[in-house]
Structure 1
Amino acid sequence: MSLAITLASGSASRQGLLAGAGVDAASIRPNVDEDAAKAALRAQGMSVRDQAMKLAELKAVKVSNRTPGLVVGGDQMLSLENEAFDKPADLAAARDHLRKLSGKTHTLETAIVVCENGAPVWRHLARPKLTMRPLSEDFIESYIGRAGDALLSTVGAYQLEGLGAQLFTKIEGDYFSILGLPLLPLLDYFRTRGAIAS
């Protein structure tokens, strides 16, 4: 019998990527206080990439402690010149994000951790780099007006799969990882464990 797969997340994007790839996975919100965890990790001086990995692990461990099979936790943080960006709280914050990212290259620290029986058994970090073109104030206002509150669900205040494609001049890295889940290495791991067909 194949191992059950559970996504320790309420992310519609991550759920959609797994479902689109034909992976039957349950989804359970881990209910981790991410703000408190981030504050503690930042107080320790932890790098942005290590913060993302630690948060992914916290989510996976919490759900795995009460759920059999393989539990996938994920986290994505935006790093610009070693500064961590969180999801914007409102459209004014989204506007500030876009102004700071305009004309620069940032990294999406996209971490996944798979746990089994409450312990990590596999982890992966993808680091796509995205170069945003210089954005005029008029463009930013128009973009925010068109995209609206959907921007508040992403760390960079953009959705590459939609209007966000207009923001960039160059992208280096895996498309799935940009959307929040390094899907291809994860599928590989599932196959090695017999959780999906090989």
Structure 2
Amino acid sequence: MSLILASKSAARRAVLDGAGVRYEARVAGVDEDAVKTSLLAEGAGPREIADALAELKAIRVSAGRPDFVIGSDQTLDLDGQLYDKAESVEAARERLRLLRGRTHKLHSAVVVAKEGAPIWREIVTASLTMRDFSDAFLEEYLAQEGEHALGSVGCYRLEGPGAQLFSKIEGDYFAILGLPLMGLLALLRRHGELAE
């Protein structure tokens, strides 16, 4: 195997699986909370944090390996403020109320590393506008999604019922799912990991 995904994310694995890319998944073991805290203290914004975490994951798994290692991370940016995944359905309810009727950004970074050094990166930003949905809709949505709502920073799966939360989406679909794909596929073709 010459391609490794440094992620436990089911959504990222589904993106690669759907594209027919063969890879091995490995957990990077990065303390994301500690990294975010440090970067925020240094004045980094959500976009920079996504990039730094993607790079750290790729480097951590690729150290001493000749394989191409894909690291990826996504951050939610609402008016310049970083939001992490909700830890409970109640927290998801509050997050969705906060996002309701507003536009937020998702910054998705992907870094490819080899032998402990980054060799390529891309950061893609999408803008998503939630419609002003009713409280009744919100409760129905959370009853349907339950714990699935806790799997993404925005408390939604665009490839699932979460699509109904939005009135407008601008940006790359794969980046919204958490793994910008087009540039990555082009890189893998250039290096002979995929057929031309």
* TM category, shorter: over 0.9
For 2:45 and 2:107, the matched residues in 1 are separated by 10
Deviation of 1:46 after TM superposition, in Å, equals: 0.2
Alignment partner of 2:78 out of 77, 80, 87: 80
Counterpart in the other structure of 2:53:
55
What secondary structure, in the 3-state scheme, does the structure 1 residue paired with 2:82 have?
strand
Alignment partner of 1:46 out of 41, 44, 47: 44
Deviation of 1:93 after TM superposition, in Å, equals: 0.9
Alignment partner of 2:136 out of 122, 135, 138: 138
8 Å CA contact 1:6–1:69 kept in 2: the answer is yes
Deviation of 1:58 after TM superposition, in Å, equals: 0.6
Aligned amino acid, residue 107 of structure 1: K
- For structure 2, list consecutive stretches of 5 or more residues without a partner in the other structure: none
Counterpart in the other structure of 1:188:
186
8 Å CA contact 1:99–1:135 kept in 2: the answer is no
Deviation of 1:146 after TM superposition, in Å, equals: 1.1
Alignment partner of 1:120 out of 87, 107, 118: 118
Alignment partner of 2:165 out of 164, 167, 171: 167
What secondary structure, in the 3-state scheme, does the structure 1 residue paired with 2:11 have?
helix
Superposed CA offset, 1:147-176 (max 9, x none): 100010100001111110110011111111
For 1:91 and 1:48, the matched residues in 2 are separated by 23
Alignment partner of 1:91 out of 85, 89, 92: 89
1:156 correspondence with 2:151? no
8 Å CA contact 2:107–2:125 kept in 1: the answer is yes
8 Å CA contact 2:39–2:49 kept in 1: the answer is yes
For 1:73 and 1:140, the matched residues in 2 are separated by 33
For 1:22 and 1:110, the matched residues in 2 are separated by 21
Aligned-pair RMSD on alpha carbons? 1.0
Q: TM-score, normalised by structure 2?
A: 0.97
8 Å CA contact 1:65–1:117 kept in 2: the answer is yes
8 Å CA contact 2:85–2:152 kept in 1: the answer is yes
Counterpart in the other structure of 1:197:
195
Counterpart in the other structure of 2:30:
32
For 1:129 and 1:35, the matched residues in 2 are separated by 24
Deviation of 1:66 after TM superposition, in Å, equals: 4.0
Q: Among the aligned pairs, what percent are the same residue?
A: 49
- For structure 1, list consecutive stretches of 5 or more residues without a partner in the other structure: none
Counterpart in the other structure of 1:9:
7
For 1:135 and 1:68, the matched residues in 2 are separated by 49
What secondary structure, in the 3-state scheme, does the structure 2 residue paired with 1:108 have?
strand
For 2:64 and 2:194, the matched residues in 1 are separated by 22
Aligned amino acid, residue 195 of structure 1: E
Structure 1 stretches (4+) deviating beyond 4 angstroms? none
Aligned amino acid, residue 51 of structure 1: I
